Amino acid sequence: MSIEGLRSRISRFPHRPGVYLMHDAGGAVVYVGKAKDLRKRVMSYARHSGFASPRLRKLVEMVEDISVIRTETETEALIVESRLIRRYQPFFNVELKMGERYPYVRITDEPYPRIQITRRRESGNGQYIGPFVRVAEVRQVLRLIERYFPLRTCRTASVKGRWNERPCIRYELGRCPGPCAGMCGKREYRERVADVTLLLKGHAAELVNRLRERMNRAAADLDFEEAARHRDTIRAVWKLSRQKISSTLSDDMDENTWDALAGIEKDLGLAALPWRIDGFDISHSSGHEMYGVCVVFEQGAPNRSLYRRYRIRNVEGVDDFRAIQETLERRYRPGAAEELTPPQLILVDGGPIQLEFAQRALAGTAMERSDIAALAKREELVYLPGKREPIRLDRDHPGLRLLQRVRNEAHRFAIETNRSAGNARFSVSMLEQVPGIGKIRAAKLVTRFGSVRRIAESTAEEISKEPGITLKTAVRILQTLKGREENT
């Protein structure tokens, strides 16, 4: 099939940033490109009957299939493009084959490591973080590191056990901790290197938590100067993190993960490689504490920082179908969906009915044209919109195993969410919220029944047998713990 024959498929590509991969008849990747608008960029190859460049004409003649990966921004598309070119070494990509276009930050493998900017990544030669899209951004981070997390820059002999008699002027200026003169121990220095690594990898929240703990310890020790230094560092880190330094999303995928994603795209007929999958499930406890959850898999791995839970508000009784609908409506409601990185695949736990209610939720939203599927348990059948018969993937299909991981992770997170809500509901503090029940009476009730949950499972008459507990108060206790009205 020529690239002109792929027009229909290309017309389904999104008007969003991303990366496109062109494949030859054997399935090999022959070209990887990036685009601010995937549909416009890829369609441009099919609009021309001839190209001035012989290399471009040959490329178009060889293309038999095209897959795309949507990204949140054009900057991320640059990064993904670079990584995929290094991985596949496509014949028609020349500039990025050697992987030297984008810079890395290297943390040297020494007793007192240094940090450097490099465009060449060598195995077994320290830790590399990146690549970064713009050198200016890297230098901005390094300036912050030099001020708040200074490391040594010189090639000193101290690493061989010999010490200088006095530190250099960088130590006097606060730009080096002075390990060459024994002014900084190895443990303290390694801790600083760990801080720098968190900053460069974009883990600002974790770094701030570490700094806040040190600030609190310094304040408790009345070392207010040190506490103020940590406070200023926290402010600088937050300010930098809001500028969203552009680095890689994660390490390179292994071949199995790529095969799984490619298999899902091909066998389910998706419009794009499912680089990101949103998985949904519902959990409740006898009709109470009903929650819908969303888990996010990126590049075949869970990203727990993006998980979300939604307490079901508008569904009466046990109705998983409408609970799925409410969960997706709230997840992708107008205004909220625009702030999300759009998934290439939305996966719900269940069969054709769950799929139908999920489709209702997406109607009129920015995700209305997104690919969606339902994965049923036991038979492990995949249901797709507009198809009367489900797809039965082979049990050893790598794509099916990935879909199962998403489905199972959503189920685990839903159960965990429901259990956490139940534990909160059956806590002693909830019992103490009942009018007329204080700490002493609550403790007596728990002692008699064994737990707050056992109290909730009892009748009002049984609870009222406790001295000082009237039948009316017992009913109030059950109303509070069960979250529903009880008849007296």
pLDDT for 249 beyond 50: no
Same domain, 432 and 410: no
Mean pLDDT of 376-400: 92
What pLDDT, on the 0 to 100 scale, is given for residue 484?
38
- Tens of pLDDT, residue by residue over 67-92, are 888 776 676 777 778 778 877 888 88
* 170 plus 273 within the same structural domain: no
**What is the average per-residue pLDDT within 481-488?**
45
Write down which residue in 388, 404, 423 finishes a domain. 423
- Under the banding of pLDDT at 50, 70 and 90, the label for residue 430 is low
320, 407: one domain: yes
- Per-residue pLDDT reduced to its tens digit, 409-422: 999 999 888 776 65
Residue 307, domain member (yes or no): yes
Pair 266, 368 in one domain: yes
pLDDT at position 159 is 47
pLDDT at 10: 86
Stretch 94-112: mean pLDDT: 71
- pLDDT of residue 53 exceeding 50: yes
For residue 96, is it within any domain? Answer: no
Please count the other Cβ atoms lying within 10 Å of the Cβ belonging to residue 45.
21
Question: Domain residues for 158?
Answer: 104-241
pLDDT at 372: 96
pLDDT higher than 70, residue 424:
no
Query: By mean pLDDT, which of 78-92, 139-153, 310-324, 420-434 is the weakest?
Result: 420-434
Tell me, what CATH number does 10's domain have? 3.40.1440.10
**What CATH code is carried by the domain that includes residue 442?**
1.10.150.20
The answer as to whether 62 is a domain residue is yes
Closest CA to 231 of 214, 254, 206: 214
- d(CA 53, CA 71) in angstroms, rounded, equals 29
Least confident of 22-26, 279-283, 391-395: 22-26
398 and 431 housed in the same domain: no
Last residue of a domain, one of 188, 219, 241: 241
Please tell me the predicted confidence (pLDDT) of residue 294. 95
Report if residue 250 sits inside a domain.
Answer: no
Q: Please indicate, yes or no, whether residues 330 and 290 belong to a single structural domain of this protein.
A: yes
**Measured distance CA(194)–CA(197) in Å, rounded:** 5
Mean pLDDT of 100-115: 81
Do residues 203 and 118 share a domain?
A: yes
CA gap 399, 374 in Å, rounded? 14
Whether residues 150 and 162 fall in one domain:
yes
Burial of 168 (0-12, 13-18, 19+ CB in 10 A): middle
Whichever domain contains 403, its CATH number is 3.30.420.340
Residue 259 has pLDDT above 70, yes or no: yes
Determine the pLDDT at residue 250.
Answer: 42
- 122 and 235 share one domain: yes
Residue range 387-391: average pLDDT? 92
* Amino acid letter for position 173: L
Same domain, 415 and 430: no
Residues 213 and 287 in one domain: no
pLDDT attached to residue 285: 65
pLDDT given for residue 202 in this prediction: 72
Question: 3-state SS of the chain: helix, strand, coil percent to 5?
Answer: 45, 15, 40
In a domain, 247, yes or no: no
Q: Which residue has the higher pLDDT, 163 or 442?
A: 442
Q: What is the pLDDT of residue 380?
A: 93
Asked if residue 296 is part of any domain, the answer here is yes
Name every residue whose Cβ is closer than 8 Å to that of residue 277 and which is 6 or more positions away in sequence.
296, 297, 343, 344, 345, 346, 347, 402, 403, 406
Number of domain units in the chain: 4
The model's confidence at residue 272, banded by pLDDT at 50, 70 and 90, is confident
Select the more confidently predicted residue: 162 or 384.
384
Given a cut of 80, whether residue 203 has pLDDT beyond it is no
The residue among 338 and 18 whose pLDDT is bigger is 18
Please say which residue of 35, 62, 88 terminates a domain. 88
Alpha helices by DSSP H, listed for 63-185, are 74-88, 135-148, 169-172
Average pLDDT over residues 105-119: 85
Return the closest-CA partner of residue 474 out of 436, 424, 428, 421.
436
Spatial neighbors of 246 by CB under 8 A, at least 6 apart, are 73, 75, 76, 78, 79, 132, 133, 134, 137
Query: How many CB atoms neighbour CB 243 within 10 A?
Result: 10
* Residue-level pLDDT at 287: 54
409 vs 436, residue with greater confidence: 409
**Domain co-membership, 276 together with 211:** no
Mean pLDDT, residues 128-149 taken together: 78
In a domain, 83, yes or no: yes
> Which residues share a beta bridge with 68?
20
Query: Which of 89-98, 112-121, 139-148, 329-338 is least confident?
Result: 89-98
The predicted pLDDT at position 339 comes to 60
Q: What is the pLDDT of residue 178?
A: 86
- Confidence at residue 102, expressed as pLDDT on a 0 to 100 scale: 66
Polymer length in residues for the chain: 488
Residue 35 CB neighbour total at 10 angstroms? 22
